[in-house]
Amino acid sequence: MNAVVDLRSDTVTRPTRAMREAMLAAPLGDDVFGDDPTVNALQERIAGLLGFEAALFVPTGTQGNLCALLAHCQRGDEYIVGQQQHCYRWEGGGGAVFGSIQPQPLEHQPDGTLALADIEAAIKPDDPHFARARLLALENTLGGQVMPMAYLEQATALAKRKGLGRHLDGARLFNAAVAQAHASGSDAFTEARRIASLFDSVSVCFSKGLGTPAGSVLCGGKDLIARARRVRKMAGGAMRQAGLLAAAASHALDAHVERLGQDHALARRLAEGLAGIEGLRVTAPQTNIVFVDLTGTARERSAALLDHLQQHGVLATGLYRLRFVTHLDVDEAGIDRATRAIRGFFAA
């Protein structure tokens, strides 16, 4: 393990030796011409796993969501989305900037869901005064929270009944699927397909918990993916010998999905290790993200806490609300080191 315990995000992982070997061994072609066999195999595989007709390999999850928004919507259309969702809050307003698509953000409930009544109320009449509601965008997991299947079924049924498309930002879809499988006694791929079956398009990120250096996939129907491919080109995301990255993603599907449960266990270990510290309110994690709120006088020491952690070789993000993300480059010793550093700070 690294000298530094990097808990800033699960995007900081480096390819394992086995993943690097898979990348080196990958047969390559020119994906812009459609003849990179490794990219083609990955797209066919992930589409089949999640129950879609087609898939498109893209450099980033942000671009995958952008391609989805612009494939679903036209200029003057609107998508309904949560205030804290990545494709609204953390992607530079790409849908509005590049597609003239208006977001209609809604407040989240405590469990991360959007109230069904709020979704329905946000769907505007077909009137020239209003942007045309065309899409409901959801995210799973959201800040590490798993969206309940019953809720996803209800929300997507409402969208379908109202004539809206349904897109899932599934950047951490497999984290949700592993947690769901653990609770139900099923398996991760079955649960991922169950979740995906409720949507017209799903984006999956391979460079987070699945540990690749880069790359995401957008899945959907053939026509939607054809439109998304055009958007990818305009957005500069058409790569050449992209099979190097696709090979990493394919290896991740083989080797890194079920092991996400280890990350979830480490997140629980961290949360339990921080329990009872005065001035900290720890949210019990559902997957691999632990949020720690600083309360009372502890808030005045937040910047000093981050400095203290860095001096002790532990990296995190946040200020008054700290975020710790577990991943394949962190082990129990690293979690215990982070716990000791935090406890030591508050004991001083």
* Whether residue 230 is found in the same domain as residue 335: no
* Whether residue 61 is found in the same domain as residue 197: yes
**Residues whose CB is less than 8 angstroms from the CB of residue 50 and which lie 6 or more positions away in sequence, other chains included:** 192, 193, 196, 202, 204, 219
Q: Which residue, 338, 343, 340, 311, is CA-closest to 323?
A: 338
* Six token digits for residue 205: 């990120």
Last residue of a domain, one of 255, 273, 303: 255
β-bridge mates for residue 203, sequence order:
169, 218
* Whether residue 132 is found in the same domain as residue 266: no
Last residue of a domain, one of 232, 255, 278: 255
4 within domain boundaries: no
pLDDT digits (tens, 9 = 90+) for 236-271: 999 999 999 999 999 999 999 999 999 999 999 999
* Whether residue 251 is found in the same domain as residue 266: no
Distance of alpha carbon 249 from alpha carbon 210, whole angstroms: 8
Confidence of residue 23 (pLDDT cuts 50, 70, 90): very high
* Whether residue 99 is found in the same domain as residue 241: yes
Instruction: Report the CATH number that the domain containing residue 317 is assigned in CATH.
Output: 3.90.1150.10
Mean pLDDT (the chain, rounded)? 97
pLDDT digits (tens, 9 = 90+) for 281-302: 999 999 999 999 999 999 999 9
pLDDT at 57 > cutoff 90: yes
Confidence of residue 348 (pLDDT cuts 50, 70, 90): confident
**pLDDT above 70 as % of the chain:** 99
9 within domain boundaries: no
Phi, psi of 235, deg, nearest 5: -85, 5
195 within domain boundaries: yes
Distance of alpha carbon 208 from alpha carbon 211, whole angstroms: 6
pLDDT at site 315: 98
* Whether residue 283 is found in the same domain as residue 211: no
DSSP 238-302: --SSTHHHHHHHHHHHHHTSTTHHHHHHHHHHHHHHHTT-TTEEEPPPSSSEEEEEE-GGGGGGH
11 within domain boundaries: no
Last residue of a domain, one of 255, 284, 317: 255
Distance of alpha carbon 206 from alpha carbon 224, whole angstroms: 21
- Tell me which residue range forms the domain holding 328: 259-347
* Whether residue 251 is found in the same domain as residue 270: no
33 within domain boundaries: yes
* Whether residue 161 is found in the same domain as residue 237: yes
pLDDT at 1 > cutoff 50: no
Distance of alpha carbon 273 from alpha carbon 282, whole angstroms: 10
pLDDT at 155 > cutoff 80: yes
* Whether residue 104 is found in the same domain as residue 200: yes
pLDDT digits (tens, 9 = 90+) for 90-147: 999 999 999 999 999 999 999 999 999 999 999 999 999 999 999 999 999 999 999 9
* Whether residue 123 is found in the same domain as residue 268: no
335 within domain boundaries: yes
Q: Which residue, 242, 244, 243, 220, is CA-closest to 231?
A: 220
3 within domain boundaries: no
**pLDDT above 90 as % of the chain:** 98
Instruction: Report the CATH number that the domain containing residue 172 is assigned in CATH.
Output: 3.40.640.10
- Average pLDDT, stretch 212-235? 98
- Find the DSSP H helices in 123-202: 149-161, 173-184, 188-196
* Whether residue 99 is found in the same domain as residue 25: yes
For the chain, what is the domain count? Answer: 2
pLDDT at site 3: 85
Confidence of residue 2 (pLDDT cuts 50, 70, 90): low
12 within domain boundaries: no
pLDDT digits (tens, 9 = 90+) for 60-72: 999 999 999 999 9
* Whether residue 170 is found in the same domain as residue 82: yes
Quick one: how far is CA 130 from the chain centroid?
A: 31
pLDDT at site 31: 98
